[in-house]
Amino acid sequence: MYKGGVEAIKGATLSIAPGDFFALLGPNGAGKTTLISILAGLTVKTSGSAEIFGTSIDTNHSLAKSYMGLVPQEFNFNIFEKVQDIVVNQAGYYGIPRSTALHDAEAILKELGLWEKCAEKAQKLSGGMKRRLMIARALIHHPQLLILDEPTAGVDVELRRSMWKFLRKINAEGTTIILTTHYLEEAEQLCRTVAVINRGEIVVHEPMQELLTRHDDKDLEDIFMELIEQK
């Protein structure tokens, strides 16, 4: 509940299996980012409960947060900091020794094609590079859960495809992924489970394949529009 009485999430109940690639879809203002922000500790919820791998975000928020990496919708790093420093400092906040962090940062930045820019200030990066930097930062502490809030917004097709490949790889290695996106084709391609949220309520929550089959194999975009209009 926000100030002014706006109820952003209305009794939403969601359960995501470990190892899943989960799509959280909804129109703008549906409550996706609020839900993610509650899990990440950026928004203080007024009621309800949430657990990450069985750990309550209320009673043991420190442990719960240690499981999670967040790639937010908007760029939220210090643009005057160097790329490597942003990633290494993030590791420090999770208690990872600097020597280990420097080594791990090199590996993740190389994997995401940012190593050549490691000594550059973040403001010098292109939009796509900034997105990848946020992914590198979120993964530096090897989280079991990665939450991506519109990670491919404004990214060109080639880069989007390479990000899909990367996300599929880390999911195959065991990382649970929650993805919010407005590119429904992206969700259809990547995710095994889908939930649709509209005006703070979960209107659908089921395996992607079942949802598509149930709707006579229509595109996810058509199904999404039907669900939103019904509401």
Partner 1 sequence: MDTNKTLIAYYTVVRKDVVRMLRLWKQTFFPSIVTAVLYFLVFGTFIGSRLPPIHGVSYIMFIVPGLVMMQVIMNAYSNTSTALFMAKFQRNLEEMLVSPMPEWVIIGGYVTAGIVRGCITGILVLGVGLFFTHITLYSIPLIMAAFILTCVLFSLGGFLNAMFAESFDSISIVPTFVLTPMTFLGGVFYSIQQFPPFWQTVSLANPVLYMVNVFRYGFLGTSDVNIWLAFGVLIGLITLFLILILWLFRRGVGLKT
| CB neighbour class for 46 (10 Å; exposed up to 12, middle 13-18, buried from 19) | exposed
97 lies in the site for partner 1, by CB under 8 A? yes
Q: Using CB under 8 A, which of 16, 25, 30, 68 touches partner 1?
A: 68
Closer residue to partner 1 (CB): 88 or 202 = 88
Q: Is 205 in the site for partner 1 (CB under 8 A)?
A: no
DSSP 103-170: HHHHHHHHHTT-GGGTTSBGGGS-HHHHHHHHHHHHHTT--SEEEEESTTTT--HHHHHHHHHHHHHH
| Of the residues 46, 76, 189, 213, which one makes contact with partner 1 according to CB under 8 A | 76
- Residues 26, 31, 72, 151: which binds partner 1 (CB under 8 A)? 72
Q: Which of 10, 98, 110, 231 binds partner 1 (CB under 8 A)?
A: 98
Give the CA diameter of the chain.
Answer: 54
The identity of residue 77, as a single letter, is: F
Residue 42 contacts partner 1 per CB under 8 A: yes
What is the rounded radius of gyration, in angstroms, for the C-alpha atoms of the chain?
18
Among 48, 92, 154, 207, binds partner 1 (CB under 8 A): 92
Written as one letter, the residue type at 230 is Q
Binding residues for partner 1, how many (CB under 8 A)?
34
In this structure, how many other beta carbons lie within 10 angstroms of the beta carbon of residue 54? 10
For 146-156, b/e burial (b = at least 16 CB within 10 A) is bbbbbbbeebe
Binding of residue 1 to partner 1 (CB under 8 A): no
Residues 110-139 contacting partner 1, CB under 8 A: 137
Name which position in 79, 107, 119, 172 contacts partner 1 (CB under 8 A).
79
Judged by the rule CB under 8 A, the positions of this chain that interact with partner 1 are 2, 37, 40-44, 61-63, 65-66, 68, 70, 72, 74-79, 81, 85-86, 89-90, 92-98, 137
